[in-house]
Amino acid sequence: MLKNNSEQGRFIYNRYFYLVRDYSPVAKFKDMRLFLLLLFLLPCFVFSQEDTKQKSQFIALYTIGEHWDSEKQPHEQEYFKEHSGFLSKLRKEKKIVMGARYADTGMIIILADNLEAAKSMLFEDIALQQKLFNVEIHHFNAFYKGCLE
């Protein structure tokens, strides 16, 4: 317990944790900083928990379709401009995680609730509807997550 009245203002005995707490002005300032830090960080934790159901990743592999004219350059193909605009829209909506090309195949990784939602989203593209491209869509599980720049 406390020895005299002069110590009573500086030290408080905490019977639950068996600790002696310093309530000097410096300690109060530290407690206030911690309180303010938690106060400002709390909304970050609350809002980060809003979307508790994370979307799954799917890989879409694009190859040229039956209406691709091999005599024309890609930018000259019918519906190619619309296809580029559609992919741009998905990027702005943050539905495309990444995209790349290899050999004669285009590839994008998209976010969707399930395989049917991924197919439905991609088949809004008029280039797929008009068979300028074919697409295969598969569930994508990254086993080694890295960083691409």
Nearby residues of 90 by Cβ (< 8 Å), 6 or more positions away: 96, 108, 110, 121
Q: pTM for the whole thing? A: 0.63
What confidence tens digit (pLDDT) does each residue in 64-91 have?
999 999 999 999 999 999 999 999 999 9
Domain map (residue ranges) of the chain: 5-48, 56-139
pLDDT of residue 17: 46
**Bridge partners of 20?**
13
Residue 26 has pLDDT above 60, yes or no: no
What confidence tens digit (pLDDT) does each residue in 37-50 have?
666 776 766 555 44
Q: Does domain 56-139 have CATH number 3.40.50.970?
A: no
